[in-house]
Amino acid sequence: MQSIVTSIYTFSKLRERNCLYVDKTNFIYKLLQDEGDQFFCARPRRFGKSLTVSTLKAVFQGRRELFEGLYLAGTDYDWPVHPVIHIDFGRYDNSTLALMETSLRDEMLETAKKYDVELEGDSAAIMFKRLICKLYEKYACGVVLLIDEYDKPIIGHVEDAGDAEAFRGALESFYQIIKGAEAQLRFVFLTGVTKFAKVSIFSKLNNLTDISMSEDYATMFGYTQAELEQNFSEYLEAVVQAGTRDNWNRVMDMQGLLSQLELWYDGFCFAPGCGTVYNPVSIGKFFYDRGIFRNYWFETGTPTFLLKLMTGKQMLLTDMVEARLSEDSLATFNLTELTGENVEAERVLQLLLQTGYLTLGKLRVMGGERIYSLRFPNREVRTSFETGLLRAYNKSADAYNYVFKIVDAAMSGNTEELIALLREFFAGLSYDIQVKQEKYYQSIVYTIFRMCGMEMQTEVTTNIGRIDGVLDTEGHLYIIEFKLERSAAEAVAQIDTQKYAEQYIRPAREKGQRVHALGINFSYEQGVRNITDWQEKVLD
């Protein structure tokens, strides 16, 4: 079997070492045949952007031998050689403007040395302009420009409005060089996580084609189901033959394995109505670990700024369910709209989408406007998000410790212990992020249960009312009603009079579950802000 690596992003190294490479060169061929020659594509982290840039570099260096057996080698492409300027902001020290400038100057000098041209200049922008001119003059052909993670310096400083604006301004003078050099450029390709408005590369490049949400390139990054089954067939078979068990300790056959992989790592959608893709790094790590279902997304960390924005807006997991954005709002967003005291919830959702924590759902046309519903792509990402959000709300909480204790209490029907654990968590919430709303406390409880991997539905409609929450565990089912500044007895009485449990009694009995009517009352009073009383009634 070809070896799987998740830490090499250089195309030539992958091919020379005979590592597994999922052939995406059909998309590169399409780019080369497209009417335009300047492209931008935004994708979340860990989706192979750097590898794609490296592959394009090998193409324009004319290294046809690396593409034997791949789609591009079998086309009519004639492999002309072009000078390539490859800028990767992910490799630079962007902690200060001076260090970023030094990194860019060094990159220009190294490229000039590689192509044996003399280069001088007082700034990176001037050196960039001169390098393009000299390469074009020496080789008498268009220069190829590849820029990876163009937005990394801005994102790294987005928490500080002044710093972020300073980096944006510095990059402005650098990127605007491309506009003046269009006649000398054969091909331009840029990648990033976000598409910031008011960055000159989007406002001043007339020919820049954004393929981020193009149907033609929707599966250019990530693995489709067919690509997974075809390219990883030997690894899939090895996992099955090893008698690998899923998270419920069940031995998996091939169908069971594929089903679990889809649940954990598939689901990313980058264009409406197009197929979903798997995260490539998560799939690689899964097989490298010989079939262990694990949250690999979490290993790279959740952006603290993103969580800070959410807690500042008192946004919770329930705000992610049924989230929607208009097509216009997806195009770009202004850097200044992410800073200050009044960041709109829509901007937070937009950032969650671009960073991969949410993905495109259904498209609806409402009143002539195209509206996208958003959703979590898969279990892995959702778990990362839930865990990170809970830690942001309660920094003292040991998330994994809570998981084991709460799951054990809920599945054993130990309601007293369950309430004690919830009280413990709420006691650790900072007072300044709490809201005097029943829905707020309901959402926190919902997030806790979801983080624990348990199924909880909220706002479940019946023929005569709406249930606040239904927690479904293996041996016990909880019908939950929340109250604020009232009483648990009133909550249980509402479950009874509104017949909330009626539709659950028979199915629960058939599954061997006990049904609990559980009332929980919260208080927002100073010095309390927690569960004040609870009451349950077991419905046999």
CATH number at 530 reads 3.40.1350
Query: What's the pLDDT tens digit per position in 454-472?
Result: 888 888 888 778 899 999 9
Residue 481, helix vs strand vs coil: strand
| CA-based R_g, the chain, Å | 27
Read off the tokens for 357: 């924590």
Calculate helix-pair angle for 25-33, 49-60, nearest 10 degrees: 60
User: Domain holding 27: CATH number?
Assistant: 3.40.50
Say yes or no: 262 and 277 in one domain.
yes
Say yes or no: 364 and 495 in one domain.
no
Domain boundary among 246, 262, 294: 294
pLDDT at 262: 97
Strands (E), 20-83: 38-42
Give the range among 46-60, 131-145, 374-388, 491-505 with minimum mean pLDDT: 374-388
Domain boundary among 212, 242, 267: 212
Read off the tokens for 359: 């993905």
pLDDT at 344: 76
pTM of the model: 0.85
Report d(CA 335, CA 164) in Å as an integer. 8
Say yes or no: 86 and 182 in one domain.
yes
What single DSSP character describes residue 69? T
pLDDT at 300: 64
The reply to whether 360 falls in a domain is: yes
pLDDT at 430: 66
Residue 144: pLDDT band by 50, 70, 90 thresholds? very high
Query: What's the pLDDT tens digit per position in 203-239?
Result: 666 678 999 999 999 999 999 999 999 999 999 999 9
Query: What's the pLDDT tens digit per position in 335-390?
Result: 666 665 667 778 888 888 888 989 999 888 877 788 889 999 999 998 888 777 77
Say yes or no: 28 and 157 in one domain.
yes
Say yes or no: 289 and 417 in one domain.
no
> What's the maximum distance between 2 C-alpha atoms anywhere in the chain?
86
CB 260 within 8 A of CB 209: no
Strands (E), 318-433: 324-326, 333-334, 359-366, 369-375
Say yes or no: 272 and 364 in one domain.
no
Say yes or no: 252 and 320 in one domain.
no
| C-alpha 259: how far from chain center | 21
The reply to whether 103 falls in a domain is: yes
Say yes or no: 105 and 37 in one domain.
yes
Strands (E), 196-344: 196-197, 208-210, 324-326, 333-334
70-74 contacts: CB < 8 A, separation 24 or more? 70/21, 70/23, 70/25, 71/23, 71/25, 71/26, 71/29, 72/25, 72/26, 72/28, 72/29, 73/25
The reply to whether 3 falls in a domain is: no
Read off the tokens for 10: 């250089």
Strands (E), 54-138: 84-88
Strand partners, 373: 324
Number of domains in the chain: 4
Say which residue the tokens 């009603």 belong to.
481
Calculate helix-pair angle for 379-393, 304-312, nearest 10 degrees: 60
Say yes or no: 197 and 260 in one domain.
no
Domain extent, residue 50, equals 11-212
* Residue type at position 421: L
Say yes or no: 523 and 507 in one domain.
yes
| C-alpha 71: how far from chain center | 29
User: Does residue 328 have a pLDDT over 90?
Assistant: no
The reply to whether 421 falls in a domain is: yes
Residue 473, helix vs strand vs coil: coil
* N-terminal to C-terminal alpha carbon distance within the chain: 56
The reply to whether 263 falls in a domain is: yes
Say yes or no: 337 and 446 in one domain.
no
Read off the tokens for 127: 């050196």
What single DSSP character describes residue 325? E
The reply to whether 1 falls in a domain is: no
Which residue stretches of 242-324 are H helix? 254-265, 280-288, 304-312, 317-320
CB 460 within 8 A of CB 466: yes
CB 485 within 8 A of CB 440: no
Instruction: Provide, for the chain, the percentages of residues in helix, strand and coil under a 3-state DSSP scheme, each rounded to the nearest 5.
Output: 50, 20, 35
Residue 19, helix vs strand vs coil: strand
User: Does residue 397 have a pLDDT over 60?
Assistant: no
Report d(CA 227, CA 157) in Å as an integer. 37
Say yes or no: 504 and 428 in one domain.
yes
Residue 485, helix vs strand vs coil: coil
